[in-house]
Amino acid sequence: MLITESRIAVRYAETDQMGVVHHAVYPVWYEVARTDYVAQALGLSYAEMERMGVMTPLSELCCHYAGSARYGEEILVRVWVSRLTPARIEFCYALHREGEEKPFHTGTTLHGWVDTKTFRPLNMKKKYPALYEKIEALAE
């Protein structure tokens, strides 16, 4: 199974008055890391995928906050594909502080395969079989 790693430096604007990163920032970081996954795994950018005709809007998001991140820290985000069907793809995320084995934050996102023009669900396995098999192999 392919696991990609992205490093994200916490932005000042991402903190809130509690002194830590605001909880709504994490899905944005997932997205940054997912963009890296797609680029590294599939050899094409998500922007190109959209132009090709495929979008992956979210249908579910779950975040588990065991700890928090602070301005000045660099966060390591690990991403992998946890589920794949012709209709959907699920990603998992584990966020680590440098040098810590255990993630302080985990999450999942479930996405539908959707046609960019019609905004309708598409059967990824039928429409883009080569790409689908590639992801299938990486997710194993």
Catalytic residue numbers?
A: 16
How far is C-alpha 23 from the geometric centre of its chain's CA atoms?
16
Q: Which stretch binds a copy of itself (CB under 8 A): 47-55, 75-83, 92-100, 125-133?
A: 47-55
Assess 97 for contact with a copy of itself (CB under 8 A).
no
What distance in Å separates the CA atoms of residue 72 and residue 34, rounded to the nearest whole number? 23
Least distance (Å) between residue 125 CB and a copy of itself: 23
Provide the H-helix boundaries in 43-76: 46-52
Least distance (Å) between residue 61 CB and a copy of itself: 4
Assess 83 for contact with a copy of itself (CB under 8 A).
no
- 114 contacts 128 by C-beta, under 8 angstroms: no
Closest CA to 97 of 24, 7, 2, 3: 7
Site residues for a copy of itself per CB under 8 A: 9, 11-13, 15-20, 22-25, 27-28, 31-32, 35, 45-48, 55, 57-66, 68, 70-72
